Amino acid sequence: MGVARGGAPRARFGIYKACWVGAGCPDAAVLAAIDDAIYDGVDVLSLSIAGVGHELPGTLHAVQRGISVVFGGGNDGPVPQTISNAVPWVTTVAASTIDRSFPTLISLGNKEKLVGQSINYNAAMNNSGFQDLVYAGSCDAESLALSNVTGKTVLCYAPAQTATTPPRQALPLAIKSTVEAGAKGLIFAQYTANNLDHL
């Protein structure tokens, strides 16, 4: 237990469980939680439910009772048409960045140094020697099969982004493919985005 402070220091929290691992957030459970919150006289409903894309039952009813309803905008960006919970009577919020970074320095053979982000650090690999670098397209199985990537560091480029291929899907797929192919490391190049908070 601790003390949480924010913009409303005298605020009190009421927490209603409506989601379960493996079962998701059934509409009936969410509706029951909203009804309980209305009965308890809350002023604000903050529903951290994203990826729904349709009006959850009860939210309009809560707004009609003078309760502000706030939803998360989802985790499918940053590409067009990926915001969820955009019905006009709720406030939809999203974060664009995280307040930390995980920088990694990549030293090339020509003495050029590049700074990227890292999700894993292995002290045994942090030495003055160079690792073999292999280019493998977008890290798909076919590109990896055409190159001998075993024990090497693989350079891949993110595939062309479309509204149906969010960047957060490309990085985990590239990691999975390179690990299965026996690569020792992965450099994943893409346009500016922060994918690490999705892993």
52 HSE (CA, 13 A, CB side) = 21
- Assess whether 194 and 108 both reside in one domain: yes
- Assess whether 108 and 69 both reside in one domain: no
| Single pTM value for the model | 0.51
CA angle 40, 58, 64 (to 5 degrees): 75
Indicate the pairing of strand 113-117 with strand 103-107: antiparallel
Kindly indicate the confidence band of residue 38, based on its pLDDT and cuts at 50, 70 and 90. very high
pLDDT value, residue 191 = 63
- Assess whether 60 and 138 both reside in one domain: no
Parent domain of 47: 27-93
Tell me the C-alpha distance between 58 and 190, whole Å. 41
- Assess whether 110 and 72 both reside in one domain: no
How many Å separate Cα 94 from the centre of its chain? 11
Token pair in block for residue 153: 């560091």
pLDDT at 42 over 90: yes
Could you give the residue ranges of the DSSP H alpha helices within the chain? 27-40, 59-64, 141-145, 167-180
Tell me the C-alpha distance between 72 and 14, whole Å. 18
- Assess whether 116 and 85 both reside in one domain: no
Q: In what order do the strands lie in the sheet with 68-72?
A: 44-47, 68-72, 91-93
Last residue of a domain, one of 40, 64, 93: 93
Token pair in block for residue 182: 């026996």
Kindly indicate the confidence band of residue 48, based on its pLDDT and cuts at 50, 70 and 90. confident
Residue, of 83 and 16, whose pLDDT is higher: 16
5 inside domain: no
pLDDT value, residue 148 = 86
How many distinct structural domains can be found in the chain? Answer: 2
7 inside domain: no
- Assess whether 137 and 160 both reside in one domain: yes
Residue 155 DSSP code: E
Token pair in block for residue 57: 């039952």
- Assess whether 67 and 113 both reside in one domain: no
pLDDT value, residue 66 = 94
78 inside domain: yes
**Locus of tokens 């595939």:** 159
Q: Tell me the three-class secondary structure of 41-55, residue by residue.
A: CCCEEEECCCCCCCC
Tell me the C-alpha distance between 38 and 95, whole Å. 27
Mean pLDDT of 108-115: 84
Nearest to 53 by CA among 31, 72, 28: 72
9 inside domain: no
Mean pLDDT of the chain: 78
Tell me the C-alpha distance between 134 and 131, whole Å. 10
- Assess whether 59 and 110 both reside in one domain: no
Nearest to 188 by CA among 159, 162, 156, 165: 156
167 inside domain: yes
pLDDT value, residue 163 = 46
In this structure, of 63-77, 114-128, 131-145, 175-189, the range with the lowest mean pLDDT score is 114-128
- Assess whether 40 and 126 both reside in one domain: no
3 inside domain: no
Q: What pLDDT digit, counting tens, does each position of 132-174 carry?
A: 888 888 888 888 888 888 888 899 887 665 545 566 677 788 8
